[in-house]
Amino acid sequence: MRDLSGGLEWLSLNWATVRQQWDLRQAIEGCARHGIPGIAPWREPLQVLGLAEAARLIRDHGLAVSGLCRAGMFPAADAAGRQAAIDEVRRATDEAAAIEAQCLVVVAGGMPAGSKDLALARQQVRDGLAAILPHARAAGVPLALEPLHPMYAADRCCISTLAQANDLCAELDPEGAGGLGVAIDVYHVFWDPELAREIARAGAASRILAFHVCDWLVPTRHLLLDRGMMGDGVIDLRRIRGLVEAAGYAGLIEVEIFSTDWWRRDPDEVLRIISGRYHTTV
């Protein structure tokens, strides 16, 4: 395993961690000020700042972009809706290319309103990924399919396990030509009894494109907005990082915390605490 106790060499900040305090410019400047070498923008603040200006700022501050969040949401009630989703992912891919993001984070989407057919939604995700994959390859931006926790299966992401994501990658990219892989976020997968096997499988196929950390609080008071700072919850972060690194991942470690608690804190303090936990806990 890599030694994180020294510098911040592999740390990246997901903008959403400070989304209530900072716009993207402030987050870029904040990372630079704190010596955090990576950032992961979201599309909305990126569009506000402007692609060219964001690319310039990121470059001028010497930051790497661990990923662009996010696109996907493939399932829709009709063909026009599904095509619109694919078109949106295409635009997101181009945005990711413009800021030299190492991947585009893909969140599959849930069931369309009124549907109870998870299997159909999963099929639509597969079809949508198949449709966009050639463009992603041409743009040089790999798609990082992120399984989300099963508590989001209905309305956000019907890809609930790393096994499902790996299966999709194997189906859509059987030759390992690239352009498609997985994002592994400890929050979504720590519970999975098959986690070690599936991390190894993703790594053997060179498909681990991103690694996200935060923590699972006990109790968790809200399904979306109560993630914990690394070390404040029950996830064995070092074990999972060990699995990911043993599988060959040597990239950035991205901190993504959706939390009404942390959004109320001074953002410079948040970055100081993240940096400390990176050394001691991740």
List residues binding a second copy (CB under 8 A).
Answer: 110-111, 115-118, 122, 149-151, 153-155, 160-161, 163-164, 190-193, 216, 218-221, 223, 233-236, 239
Nearest distance in Å: CB 7, a second copy: 26
Nearest distance in Å: CB 155, a second copy: 5
Distance CA 129, CA 149 (A): 20
Nearest distance in Å: CB 201, a second copy: 16
Torsion of CA 255, 260, 261, 264, to 10 degrees: 100
Distance CA 217, CA 179 (A): 34
Largest CA distance in the chain: 52
CB 32 within 8 A of CB 11: no
For a second copy, the closer CB: 124 or 161: 161
Nearest distance in Å: CB 122, a second copy: 7
Nearest distance in Å: CB 46, a second copy: 27
CB 195 within 8 A of CB 162: yes
Bond into 75 cis (ω within 30): no
Nearest distance in Å: CB 4, a second copy: 18
What value does the CA radius of gyration of the chain take, rounded to a whole number of Å?
18
Nearest distance in Å: CB 25, a second copy: 32
CB 254 within 8 A of CB 210: yes
For a second copy, the closer CB: 179 or 233: 233
Distance CA 174, CA 60 (A): 39
For a second copy, the closer CB: 60 or 194: 194
Report residue 167 as tokens. Answer: 């299966």
CB 254 within 8 A of CB 12: yes
Q: Please, what is the Cα angle at 37 between 211 and 268, to 5 degrees?
A: 100
For a second copy, the closer CB: 6 or 116: 116
For a second copy, the closer CB: 29 or 117: 117
For a second copy, the closer CB: 110 or 179: 110
Nearest distance in Å: CB 39, a second copy: 28
Q: Which residue has the tokens 């190492």?
A: 102
Q: Which residue has the tokens 């463009």?
A: 135
For a second copy, the closer CB: 223 or 246: 223
Distance CA 183, CA 103 (A): 9
For a second copy, the closer CB: 95 or 215: 215
